[in-house]
């Protein structure tokens, strides 16, 4: 079975969330920190999906190609995909 970059990124986000939750020592702190981390990860993923969609639409390519272009452009600029996605969503000219 082959996974797309989108599947891999989502899986990595979940793995990061699990690592954060497990690293917390107190159960109450762990619960609150996990909730905050989950909210941040989901917000980041939403922005990444929006930016990938923007690039796909403007470049007239499919979503997978848009996501690949997003990742490649972020890497070329030395930015994380999440950070670059924020810029793309805020200003379409930055794509």
Number of domains in the chain: 1
Percent of the chain with pLDDT over 70: 73
Domain holding 28, by residue range, is: 5-94
pLDDT tens per residue across span 21-77: 666 656 555 566 667 777 777 778 889 999 999 999 999 999 999 999 999 999 999
Q: Is the pLDDT of residue 84 over 70?
A: yes
pLDDT tens per residue across span 47-58: 999 999 999 999
pLDDT at 7: 63
pLDDT at 27: 56
pLDDT at 93: 67
C-alpha to C-alpha distances, 74 to 13, 20, 27, 71, nearest whole angstrom: 17, 25, 36, 5
């Amino acid at each position: 079975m082959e996974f797309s970059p989108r599947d891999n990124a989502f899986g990595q986000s979940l793995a990061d969330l699990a690592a954060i939750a497990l690293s917390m020592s107190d159960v109450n702190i762990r619960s609150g920190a996990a909730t905050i981390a989950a909210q941040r990860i989901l917000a980041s993923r939403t922005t990444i999906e929006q930016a990938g969609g923007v690039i796909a639409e403007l470049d007239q390519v499919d979503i997978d190609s848009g996501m690949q272009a997003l990742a490649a452009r972020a890497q070329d600029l030395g930015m994380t995909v999440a950070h670059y996605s924020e810029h793309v969503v805020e200003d379409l000219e930055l794509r």
